[in-house]
Chains A and B, each alone.
Chain A
Amino acid sequence: METTNKYWKGLEELHHDADFEKNRMNEFAEKLPLSKVLKEDDLELSSNRRDFLKFMGFGITAATLAACSRSPVKNVVPYINKPVEIDPGVANYYATTCGGCNARCSLLVKTREGRPIKIEGNAESPFSKGGVCAVGQGTVLNLYDLGRLSHPVVNNKAADWKAIDTLASSALSAGGAIRLLTGTISSPSTKAAIETFIKKYPNAKHIQYDAASASAIIDAHEQGFGKAVLPSFNIANAKSLVSVDADFLGTWISPVEFTKQYTSARKVEGGKPEDFLFHFQFESTLSLSGSNADHRATLSPSQIGAALVRLHNYVAEGTGGAQAGSSSLELAGNSIKMAATHLVKNKGKALVICGSNNPDHQALVASINSMLGAYGNTIDLDNPSYQYQGNDKEMIALVNEMNAGTVGTLIIHDCNPSYTYPDAKKFNDGLAKVKTSIAFSTRLDETSERCTAVAPTNHFLESWGDDMPKAGYISLYQPSISPIFNTRAAEESLLLWAGISTTYDEFVKKNWKENFYGGGEYKNFEDFWMHSLERGFISMESKNAKSYSFNGNLASAAKVAAESGDIEVVIYEKVAIRDGRDANNPWLQEMPDPISKVSWDNYAAISPKLAEKLGLNDEDVVEIKAKGSNYSVKLPVLKQPGQKYNTIAIAKGYGHNAKESATYKVAAGIGANAYPFATVTDNALIFGGQTVTITKTGENYPLAQSQTHHHMEGRDLVRETTIAEIANGSYYKEMEKKEKEESSLRISLWQDYRYPGHQWGMAVDLNACTGCNACVVSCQAENNVPVVGKDEVRRRREMHWLRIDRYYSISEEGPKEIYHDKYKELDKLGAENKLGNYEKVKVVFQPIMCQQCSNAPCETVCPVNAISHSSEGLNQQAYNRCVGTRYCANNCPYKVRRFNWFNYALNDKFKDYPMQTDLGRMVLNPDVTVRTRGVMEKCTFCVQRIQVGKLDAKKEGRALKDGEIKTACQQSCPANAIVFGDMNDPNSEISKLLENKRTYKILTELNVRPSVNYMSKVRNSNETIA
């Protein structure tokens, strides 16, 4: 029924009032008094309370509606014209050469979408053979360092290249001596560029200077053989090796190459036990090499001369050579005699090396090697090394010349003498007297900040170039990214100033065409060039190494200086920081020192006995003052077993003090500079031996140590034996017995996991592993492991997925145990034992990563199922699912799980580290998630690499090949200590190693069934040679 009622809201509506009719269709019947509201003549809103509420209501509603909309769209723009070689998500590898140190290993650089993200070794290189050290691994991070100089600087002001070029050309033509001071130049093309430059400016002279100088070795060979070269050493050929203060596995000359050689000389399988290299090490502080030695004795720097004379004379006795002076020094346990006897016994297969930069010492070493027939066998003078060419005499002369004011223009390239030169003050004074100084540098370091102009150079990953680390072997550089900053290759500048305007890559190519292209198998030069670039290096025919005999004068060397008896300083290089050029690298700073396990600092290492005598404890800050120069530093004490009594060791490379704070954002304020403790004599830079006084300051400085307990507590973790026991089979019998016991424990209530496809496993050969930590940094780079800084390492929260445990042991007549804990004194047992015996310490290393247990204790305890067991035997951590109870970490017997205590990628506390800047983030591996705060993480066996390998095989429709997948740690290991593979494949290397009798697993009694295996360490024992 239709209603007849009429409804109305007001009389106006009822009467159809005209005004009302006009406005009825509008939303607001009356005009909104907007103008009134918004009028703010006297800054007072004219609206009343009700209006205010209306506006509020409207405002809130509008804001709410606005908030409902999606956040602004950010477009990801794909390549419009996709570069042919770049497939998003697929890595490209470019061959290049490492610029990390002078050794110049050949590399492969992994790039993703045009960004270099990882350094890998070039396995084809006959020298580095695929190995990369920790420093090399770290170089990729230097590329993304905000401390790099991004633009030219003239007179401490930002400038453009034109300004530098103008300055250079006017300075160079202004007369006065021109001096070109560089680090070692082993690059043929750079050398050619410098020659071109010198041709143009005949008053120019090129001087090479190395912070870690090998000048004395070159001098000795000039004196003794008439050949001023650094010889190539071949440890692989040696059966007897004596190293006097040379850390050839860690820092000396070419550590990766030497490690490869060392490992091949100490093969247990596939080598004869009698060929197993015997390694003697005489040194002041415990080095990486010393920790691997079969026989180690300590000596102070001032005893090196006497020890070498004694060794020389013993060897002379044995070989019928001439005596040189006389010395009655003997080191603990008749070490010198023992070494000499062994050397002589292995004549022709013997080698003595020495790290001292004293020409007298090196002359003795050359003479000993000559008597031992080393030249031509273990030392090659015909295919010398060009890795170190620094000439101390020329450098000393240059500094004098500068101080005399006769140098008009000084061009500095690839060295930092204001920091590294022992008498830096004299250098700086001289530099101030040079009219125009131009530095080629990647950063405003201590030297370049004092120069008139700074021409920023490329990082080596942005550079073209070449390098000849050894005669007959040239490694190429090719850029894997275009220069990030406004930088220019140093060579290009030199050529430009010499009037040749060409790009440096053109110049290199031209140089190669002229000098290295010899047709052969290649169609044309372009073909040769492309092949060489692809391969990364060329090897030319090497000359036959001839035998040489020493006929230098040993008169001055034979004079043995009397020992002072005072405390002597030992200046050494650390494996990570080396000479200090990469001190601003947070990965390297955070890498624990292989021996002391301290990161982020240098310190005063002293022997426990000396510490007791001086009343010092770990972390007491002492002032160390040089008696000669009055230079003093304050450093915390670290009691270092294996340290010579009466010596104090300080590492180089710390205590940077550039004025520009951005230059060393990470390195600034860390440690103290040890270079000034070195002395400048007439013809050499002598590192170590200066006498010092030590005063306790009463302060305390906590060191960031990643391991504070140093004794294995008799647990069956690192198994060690001697080559003699291997040879007579007794060790294998013992291992078999243990294996039998262990297999009886392998019972389970549950059905075992089945691994139908692959089952990944790993074997770590503790005999090969030298403890160098290359794998640690490699893992950090590959897996986006955050840097946490000094404070957090002090709290024992470093994030490394892979760590190397280091334990001390004493087997001879010393205390049986070392009870060294931060919170308990080192010397619990020391009272009854002679503390001096801590000098005779042995070291074992054990890399520990996630053991990927089959019965994983971490998996069962997670309340949210964040850890799952893969069908290929991996314990997979799902970050997104993890709520962070840390139960899994507690229950992990190997303590390999790492918790994200903070949001390392966003927390301000960590803002100086790579994850927090746009530039630093470029190094991140896009295949690996960056973990957020509150989740647990751990080693994945590089699951992203496994995935890539499997996908590649699948795409090609074939089975996966053994060795195709290499984990990051395995890839870079200079010792080939790590083998990874499929344990289900009976022909894989890992499967074969599992059959090896040296192979064992740790903590088997827990029945967790780890997938990581260890292989016993094998040493030569003194009995072998007795």
Chain B
Amino acid sequence: MSHEAAIREPLIFGETNYSVITDEICAPAEAKPTKHWYIGFTIAMLTLCIGIVSFYYEVTHGIGSWGLNKTIGWGFDITNFVWWIGIGHAGTLISAILLLFRQDWRNSINRSAEAMTLFAVVCAGQFPIFHMGRVWNAFFTLPLPNDYGPLWPNFNSALLWDVFAISTYFTVSIVFWYTGIIPDLATLRDRAKSKTRWHIFNFFSFGWTGSIRQWNRFELVSLILAGLATPLVLSVHTIVSFDFATSVLPGWHTTIFPPYFVAGAIFSGFAMVLTLLIIARKVMRLEKYITIGHLEAMSKIITLTGTMVGIAYGTEFFMAWYSGYSYEQFTFINRAFGPYWWSYWIMISCNVVSPQLFWVRKFRRSPIFIFIMSIFVNIGMWFERFVIIVTSLHRDFLPSSWAMYVPTWVEFGMFVGTIGLFFVLFFLFAKYLPVIAIAEVKMIYKKTTHGKPAGAYHGEQDYDQDKAYELAAAAHGHGHDEHETVGEHHH
């Protein structure tokens, strides 16, 4: 076991021991849902219903119920798809890459981040399916054996690569997530008070007993899956970006897209993780485990990726100028100053300008500020996809075909509906399953609290982590023996 320097901010605060951790994390899953949960769940369900109505309307009436036209073939549909897929990326990054890099702080957020990934991919998947004019023939995109020749899908098409990329991504993510949750399901089983509950969790925990051999294999599988999932973080959004990059359209046909899309995906994904966790830690009283330090770490990643995205925007402009290709130059000028200028500037201000505020330490340690920023980033990243898709399409080569795109209620309904679907799934997850990986948090318990009860740092639930940490750090800075003084100082 590695040893954490005391200068590091602890990853768990509050009076804690193993049993307390178990109790606290299992509590929401074992108690009756709170009033807040019911209210939230109802709202999410209603929003989902809007989506169901909209999807139904689209399938029965035709794509004509959207605002697309002969010039603009994709609008909200693919914008939403790319947005949701991007959001999913943070979960995989946290669970896989950070695991491989032994970033222990990920342990208390990886479960919910991974769940978010799954739900985001579920939401994302709806759009490529339902954007098809003949959704009932969607299976044509699968390489199924058939009698027509046989007739295979077109392996040249980036859309087909999407089919593989996303299905792979979903499969690996769900296996990884489920593998991680098995020990916790067993914990819930062991704590079950009713026979039914015991049976259910027993079934889903695959008979986990917690033997050394099982733990050993659990760790191995986790590592292998992390190894498998790591390239996916890069590949999925790379392939999604190929939808655009392999086309001939100015504004789409850009080699910078793969890294730019991946950075953007992580950027938006972390924003969504933050949006969810800032609420969850408050409502479910998990501030001890999801600490200000966690939020700050994620804010830093947002600043990093946001800046990368900003550089990508600049590079695009540079390349347009440097290439001397007038169509491309026009596209970029049109983006910033054409009829959709507002979407471009929303994107710039949300994605490039606002994350820079996180350079101020105070801001990146304020949950409310981070929450607002995370919403900004989500909006900005949605507009980034909108800008890429719509502004490139609406004025391309032949000015005679230039047109405008105005979405209809059906498109709004579908978008809102997937947000509803996402939250319905998240609410169910938060209610029925442990939102924090109990076993993994326990792994870091010892090292992060330096062998002392975590309680040494703390007191109340809404305890000022900043202050505690500062005091602790100050004490350390004064040359006190870290093992002795940190706790004392506080007391």
Residue of A nearest to B393 (CB): A890
A796 in contact with B159 given A823-B404, A863-B153, A883-B140 (CB within 8 Å): no
19 other contacts beyond A895-B396, A899-B63, with CB at 8 A cut-off? A710-B399, A792-B64, A796-B403, A797-B69, A821-B339, A824-B339, A862-B154, A863-B157, A863-B163, A881-B140, A883-B134, A886-B63, A890-B247, A899-B133, A902-B64, A934-B135, A935-B133, A935-B134, A1003-B397
Cβ-neighbour of A885 out of B67, B131, B393, B400 (below 8 A): B131
Interface residues of A (CB under 8 A from B): 707-715, 717, 792, 795-798, 803, 805-807, 821-824, 846, 848, 857, 860-865, 881-887, 889-891, 893-895, 897-903, 907, 932-936, 1003, 1005-1006, 1008
A796 to B152, CA, bound (A): 34
Contacts of A865 in B (CB 8 A): 151-154
Q: What distance in Å separates the Cβ of B411 from its nearest Cβ neighbour in chain A? A: 13
Contacts of A885 in B (CB 8 A): 128, 131-133, 159
* B459 interface hit (Cβ, 8 Å): no
Q: Which of B158-175 contact A (CB under 8 A)?
A: 158-160, 162-163
* B210 interface hit (Cβ, 8 Å): no
Instruction: Name the segment of B46-54, B70-78, B199-207, B477-485 touching the other chain.
Output: B70-78
A711, A884, A890, A1003 pick with most chain B CB within 10 angstroms = A890
Residue of B nearest to A903 (CB): B62
Instruction: Please state if B71 and A796 are interface contacts (CB–CB under 8 Å).
Output: yes
Contacts of A1008 in B (CB 8 A): 248
A872 to B69, CA, bound (A): 31
Q: What distance in Å separates the Cβ of A856 from its nearest Cβ neighbour in chain B? A: 10
Contacts of B157 in A (CB 8 A): 860-863, 887
A895 in contact with B399 given A713-B330, A933-B134 (CB within 8 Å): no
Cβ-neighbour of A822 out of B131, B326, B400, B404 (below 8 A): B404
A619 to B68, CA, bound (A): 22
Q: Is the interface of A mostly helix, strand, loop or mixed?
A: loop
Residue of B nearest to A714 (CB): B326
Q: Which of B379-420 contact A (CB under 8 A)?
A: 393, 395-404
* B211 interface hit (Cβ, 8 Å): no
* B304 interface hit (Cβ, 8 Å): no
Closest 9 CB pairs of A and B: A884-B133, A934-B133, A901-B64, A886-B73, A805-B400, A796-B69, A863-B159, A895-B401, A934-B134
* B301 interface hit (Cβ, 8 Å): no
Q: Which of B98-117 contact A (CB under 8 A)?
A: none
Instruction: Please state if B134 and A797 are interface contacts (CB–CB under 8 Å).
Output: no
Contacts of A860 in B (CB 8 A): 154, 156-157, 246
Contacts of B35 in A (CB 8 A): none
Instruction: Please state if B67 and A795 are interface contacts (CB–CB under 8 Å).
Output: yes
Cβ-neighbour of A899 out of B70, B156, B396, B401 (below 8 A): B70
Contacts of B135 in A (CB 8 A): 883, 934
A213 to B286, CA, bound (A): 88
Cβ-neighbour of B247 out of A795, A822, A861, A934 (below 8 A): A861
Q: What distance in Å separates the Cβ of B417 from its nearest Cβ neighbour in chain A? A: 21
Q: What distance in Å separates the Cβ of A876 from its nearest Cβ neighbour in chain B? A: 14
A708 to B141, CA, bound (A): 36
Contacts of A803 in B (CB 8 A): 400
Instruction: Please state if B141 and A895 are interface contacts (CB–CB under 8 Å).
Output: no
A669 to B156, CA, bound (A): 50
Q: Is the interface of B mostly helix, strand, loop or mixed?
A: loop
Instruction: Please state if A890 and B141 are interface contacts (CB–CB under 8 Å).
Output: no
Contacts of B399 in A (CB 8 A): 709-713, 715, 807
Cβ-neighbour of A797 out of B70, B153, B248, B396 (below 8 A): B70
Contacts of A907 in B (CB 8 A): 62
Q: What distance in Å separates the Cβ of B395 from its nearest Cβ neighbour in chain A? A: 8
A890 in contact with B400 given A862-B154, A862-B157, A881-B140 (CB within 8 Å): no
Instruction: Please state if B330 and A707 are interface contacts (CB–CB under 8 Å).
Output: no
Q: What distance in Å separates the Cβ of B10 from its nearest Cβ neighbour in chain A? A: 50
A359 to B288, CA, bound (A): 98
* B61 interface hit (Cβ, 8 Å): yes
Instruction: Please state if B397 and A894 are interface contacts (CB–CB under 8 Å).
Output: yes
Residue of B nearest to A1007 (CB): B248
A712 to B133, CA, bound (A): 32
Contacts of B132 in A (CB 8 A): 883-885, 934
Contacts of B73 in A (CB 8 A): 886-887, 889-890, 899
* B27 interface hit (Cβ, 8 Å): no
Interface residues of B (CB under 8 A from A): 61-64, 67-71, 73-74, 128, 131-135, 137-138, 140-141, 151-154, 156-160, 162-163, 243, 246-249, 325-327, 330, 339, 393, 395-404
A709 in contact with B248 given A883-B141, A886-B73, A893-B396 (CB within 8 Å): no
Q: What distance in Å separates the Cβ of B296 from its nearest Cβ neighbour in chain A? A: 41
Instruction: Please state if B137 and A796 are interface contacts (CB–CB under 8 Å).
Output: no
Q: What distance in Å separates the Cβ of A839 from its nearest Cβ neighbour in chain B? A: 22
Instruction: Please state if B158 and A861 are interface contacts (CB–CB under 8 Å).
Output: yes
What are 6 sample pairs from A and B whose C-beta atoms fall under 8 A apart? A715-B327, A848-B398, A862-B154, A887-B247, A890-B247, A1003-B397
Contacts of B71 in A (CB 8 A): 796, 895
Instruction: Please state if A864 and B153 are interface contacts (CB–CB under 8 Å).
Output: yes
A784 to B487, CA, bound (A): 83
Instruction: Please state if B134 and A708 are interface contacts (CB–CB under 8 Å).
Output: no
A893 to B399, CA, bound (A): 11
Q: What distance in Å separates the Cβ of A804 from its nearest Cβ neighbour in chain B? A: 9
Instruction: Please state if A881 and B151 are interface contacts (CB–CB under 8 Å).
Output: yes
A1003 to B327, CA, bound (A): 10
Instruction: Please state if A857 and B247 are interface contacts (CB–CB under 8 Å).
Output: yes
Q: What distance in Å separates the Cβ of A503 from its nearest Cβ neighbour in chain B? A: 49
A715 to B327, CA, bound (A): 9
Contacts of B68 in A (CB 8 A): 886, 899, 901
Q: What distance in Å separates the Cβ of B221 from its nearest Cβ neighbour in chain A? A: 34
Contacts of B62 in A (CB 8 A): 900-903, 907, 933-934
Instruction: Please state if A798 and B154 are interface contacts (CB–CB under 8 Å).
Output: no
Contacts of A933 in B (CB 8 A): 62, 133-134
Q: What distance in Å separates the Cβ of B325 from its nearest Cβ neighbour in chain A? A: 8
Q: What distance in Å separates the Cβ of A553 from its nearest Cβ neighbour in chain B? A: 51
A891 to B396, CA, bound (A): 10
Instruction: Please state if A890 and B151 are interface contacts (CB–CB under 8 Å).
Output: no
Q: What distance in Å separates the Cβ of A683 from its nearest Cβ neighbour in chain B? A: 46
Contacts of A884 in B (CB 8 A): 63, 132-134
A1006 to B151, CA, bound (A): 29
Contacts of A902 in B (CB 8 A): 61-62, 64
Q: What distance in Å separates the Cβ of B93 from its nearest Cβ neighbour in chain A? A: 28
Residue of B nearest to A891 (CB): B247
Contacts of B396 in A (CB 8 A): 893, 895
Contacts of A709 in B (CB 8 A): 395, 399-400, 402
Instruction: Please state if A797 and B156 are interface contacts (CB–CB under 8 Å).
Output: no
Instruction: Please state if B134 and A795 are interface contacts (CB–CB under 8 Å).
Output: no
Instruction: Please state if B339 and A798 are interface contacts (CB–CB under 8 Å).
Output: no
Residue of A nearest to B63 (CB): A901
Instruction: Please state if A848 and B74 are interface contacts (CB–CB under 8 Å).
Output: no
A848 to B140, CA, bound (A): 31
Q: What distance in Å separates the Cβ of A908 from its nearest Cβ neighbour in chain B? A: 11
Cβ-neighbour of A796 out of B64, B70, B163 (below 8 A): B70
Instruction: Please state if B339 and A717 are interface contacts (CB–CB under 8 Å).
Output: no
Contacts of B327 in A (CB 8 A): 715
A777 to B245, CA, bound (A): 37
Residue of B nearest to A711 (CB): B399
Residue of B nearest to A805 (CB): B400
Cβ-neighbour of B400 out of A707, A898, A900, A936 (below 8 A): A707
Instruction: Please state if A891 and B248 are interface contacts (CB–CB under 8 Å).
Output: yes
Cβ-neighbour of B141 out of A714, A806, A863, A903 (below 8 A): A863
Q: What distance in Å separates the Cβ of A140 from its nearest Cβ neighbour in chain B? A: 26
Contacts of B138 in A (CB 8 A): 883
Residue of B nearest to A867 (CB): B154
A714 to B399, CA, bound (A): 10
A935 to B325, CA, bound (A): 33
Instruction: Please state if A895 and B398 are interface contacts (CB–CB under 8 Å).
Output: yes
Instruction: Please state if B140 and A893 are interface contacts (CB–CB under 8 Å).
Output: no
Contacts of A895 in B (CB 8 A): 70-71, 396-398, 401
